[in-house]
Amino acid sequence: MESGEYVALSHCWGARRHAPACATTRASLGERQARVPWSALPPTFRDAVALTRWLGRRYLWVDALCVVQDDVHDWLREARRMHGVYEGAWLTVAAASAPDARAGLFAADPPPAHVTAARELPLLTRAWALQERRLAPRVLYFTQRELAWECREACACECNRRWHAVVSEYTALKLARPGDVLPALAGLAREVARTRPGETYLAGLWSGSLRADLMWFSRRALAAGRRPRPRPRLWCAPTWSWAS
């Protein structure tokens, strides 16, 4: 395969008893080179195949299938090449929330918590996954609550939209004292900060999505066709913040 023609899967193997039964061994190598029965693939692998097809790519690299697991020489040879596999992939699909291959890429029932810290994702606790993520030019993370994107130019996640939804809902509520506008949201902001490492909370906005966050407007005033209500005399936030 030429560089950039294939998708690579980054996933957790989990406990030994949950290792993919379809993993290539010396005994099954000939069969795997001919075909891999769809019924033999665990949910994570099936989802990755479906996604690869949907993206218009023909090839998918999966360590369990592409490395002979019980052949020490093959394993060591492929381990030395592993950095090139992820570095040369058109896209790396990361099954970030799945503890093993049985879980699949897509979460059927989001967890009750509003946020999930990156360190709580099983894949991100796996040592091998570090170089897979760092070397890959593009990574698409599948978590229980959202998709996240990371490349050499930018990072993006659906948590931006969730924060905008929170702000939209919050600003429609009543506050007895206008000066409480940011303190009343501080607890939730601290929870969200756990999922956005390296970012700074800026008076209701986030440094990682600052350009998008600055595009706020007063929906109530726009709908009524009038100017927004005057800012409170008591300073609440910088004028560029929705909290002002």
Q: How far apart are CA 15 and CA 174, in angstroms?
A: 50
Both tokens assigned to 81: 């090449």
β-pairing verdict for 201-202 and 205-206: antiparallel
Average pLDDT, the chain: 81
User: Percentage of the chain with pLDDT > 90?
Assistant: 20
pLDDT on residue 192 = 80
Nearest Cα to 238, choosing from 205, 194, 196, 190? 205
Asked if 4 and 88 touch (Cβ cutoff 8 Å), the reply is yes
pLDDT tens digit sequence for 170-195? 787 777 677 778 888 888 888 788 77
pTM of the model: 0.64
Q: Name the band, by pLDDT with cuts 50, 70 and 90, for residue 222.
A: low
Over residues 31-37, mean pLDDT = 90
Q: Which is more confidently placed, 165 or 22?
A: 22
Calculated CA dihedral for residues 48, 50, 52, 54, nearest 10 degrees: -150
**Helix ranges restricted to H, the chain:** 29-34, 43-54, 63-66, 72-87, 127-135, 159-171, 186-194, 210-213, 219-224
Q: Which amino acid is at 236?
A: C
Q: Name the band, by pLDDT with cuts 50, 70 and 90, for residue 225.
A: low
Asked if 43 and 103 touch (Cβ cutoff 8 Å), the reply is yes
pLDDT tens digit sequence for 116-162? 545 556 676 666 666 776 778 888 888 877 788 888 777 777 766 77
Q: 86: helix, coil or strand?
A: helix
Over residues 88-105, mean pLDDT = 90
pLDDT on residue 52 = 96
Q: Name the band, by pLDDT with cuts 50, 70 and 90, for residue 58.
A: very high
Provide long-range contacts, Cβ within 8 A and 24+ apart, for 208-211: 208/155, 209/156, 209/160, 209/163
pLDDT at 42 over 90: yes
Q: How far apart are CA 217 and CA 221, in angstroms?
A: 9
pLDDT on residue 41 = 93
pLDDT on residue 146 = 77
Nearest Cα to 180, choosing from 191, 170, 193? 170
Over residues 203-231, mean pLDDT = 76
Crossing angle of helices 159-171/186-194, nearest 10°? Answer: 180
Sign for the CA dihedral angle at 104, 63, 38, 90 comes to positive
Q: How far apart are CA 42 and CA 154, in angstroms?
A: 32
Q: Is 153 exposed, middle or buried (0-12, 13-18, 19+ CB in 10 A)?
A: exposed
